[in-house]
Amino acid sequence: MAKYIMRRIMQMIPVLFGVTVIVFFLIRLKGDPVLQMVPDYYTEAQIQAVRVAYGFDRPVYIQYVEFLRRAIRGDFGRSFVNRQPAWDLVKAALPRTIQLGVTALLFGILVSFPLGIISALKRNSAIDFVVTALSVGGRAVPSFWLGIMLILLFAVTLRWLPVSGTGAISGEPSFKYLILPALTLSTGLITTLTRLVRSSMLEVIREDYITTARAKGLRERTIIFRHALRNALIPVVTVLGLNIGFLLGGAVIVEQVFAWPGMGRLMVNSIYTRDNSVVQAGLLVTSLIIMGSNLVVDVVYSFLDPRIRYS
């Protein structure tokens, strides 16, 4: 296993190198990055001063080598808007997005697993029909619309939960502020996992070893949770790993709706203000998170099914 993990980490290096190339040249597709950054009222002398200060006066290949060298050290330059190191801005926003993503992931697992299992065990029943209809229909609900509806219901009408923010200023528990955005972000994951858990459970409970376990007189709870569910989780874990990117992408919209100061909100604001250093830092960090989550998924496989071994 250790050799496999090391090999996967080594395989991530060329992928990450390719990401740096894309990120570096992405901001140059529209032309001179300096002209995108500076206001329209800047004089030619001021534009040239910015170009020299940020190293845009040198050849492109030298700029890339310098960008790569500094990125390895965690230095992505300074924000043109905030005049702070880009990494400091990303480092401040990243924990908020991780907090939101992990909470949404927990919501998704805690809701979808019971629904999927019950739906599979009660196949073709009224419960199965309702769960399937909700999981299919819920997938079509836009997250921004759902977020606004949740705000109107729980924050404006019922006044149970705060509208937006994190509670850092008022000193209130941050979990109250986390419920609505996490619930909004987890809805798409819940619908996907519910259908997947249902289909995986239906496939597993038809296997011969499940029939044998029942013939031996094992309790149904033992059969479902000890034998069937463990094997049914393998495709579910795969989708969970793939949905890390979905959660990060969905966080962009959710953080805007709920004014949550995370990576998504930082990236949107940086794109609007053409703050290229922050955009580059955010994209690279997001890529690292997605690649790391895929590695974790591969490692979890062997614990779920001992028959899976890596050499």
Q: How far apart are CA 269 and CA 263, in angstroms?
A: 10
Query: What is the structure's pLDDT at 41?
Result: 83
Does residue 228 surpass a pLDDT of 60? yes
At 266, which amino acid appears?
L
Domain spans of the chain? 14-72, 94-304
- Residue 141 contacts residue 184 (beta carbons within 8 Å): no
Give the residue carrying structure tokens 């401040």. 92
- Residue 289 contacts residue 281 (beta carbons within 8 Å): no
Whole-prediction pTM: 0.83
Q: Which fold has domain 94-304?
A: MetI-like fold (1.10.3720)
Q: What is the mean pLDDT of residues 221-236?
A: 84
Name the H helices within 27-83.
33-37, 44-53, 60-72
Number of H helices, E strands in the chain: 13, 0
| Three-state secondary structure call for residue 289 | helix
Cα separations (Å) of 285 from 9, 105, 260, 264? 16, 19, 19, 12
311 vs 215: which has the higher pLDDT? 215
Phi first, then psi, for residue 222 (nearest 5°) are -65, -40
Q: How far apart are CA 279 and CA 260, in angstroms?
A: 18
Cα separations (Å) of 291 from 5, 219, 286, 298? 12, 40, 9, 11
Does residue 142 surpass a pLDDT of 80? yes
The end-to-end CA distance of the chain, in Å, is: 7
Q: What is the mean pLDDT of residues 147-165?
A: 88
Query: What is the structure's pLDDT at 266?
Result: 92
% of the chain residues with pLDDT over 70: 95
Query: What is the structure's pLDDT at 172?
Result: 55
Residues 234, 202, 187, 253: is their CA dihedral positive or negative?
positive
Q: What is the mean pLDDT of residues 25-49?
A: 81
Q: Mean pLDDT, the chain, as a whole number?
A: 85
Spatial CA neighbour of 101 closest among 250, 247, 242? 247
Q: What is the mean pLDDT of residues 142-147?
A: 90
Query: What is the structure's pLDDT at 168?
Result: 61
Region class of 215: left (phi > 0), else alpha (psi between -120 and 50), else beta: alpha
| Three-state secondary structure call for residue 185 | helix
Query: What is the structure's pLDDT at 196?
Result: 92
Query: What is the structure's pLDDT at 116?
Result: 93
User: Running DSSP on this structure, what letter comes out for residue 193?
Assistant: H
At 194, which amino acid appears?
T
Q: How far apart are CA 202 and CA 258, in angstroms?
A: 38
* pLDDT tens-digit series, residues 183-223: 999 998 999 999 999 999 999 988 888 888 888 888 888 88
SS3 content of the chain, % helix, strand, coil (to 5): 75, 0, 25
At 281, which amino acid appears?
A
Q: Which residues pair with 85 in a beta bridge?
A: 78
Q: What kind and span of H or E run contains 269?
A: helix 263-272
User: Which long-range CB contacts under 8 A does 263-271 form with residues at least 24 apart?
Assistant: 263/90, 263/93, 263/94, 263/96, 263/97, 264/97, 265/93, 266/89, 266/90, 266/93, 270/79, 270/81
Query: What is the structure's pLDDT at 146?
Result: 92
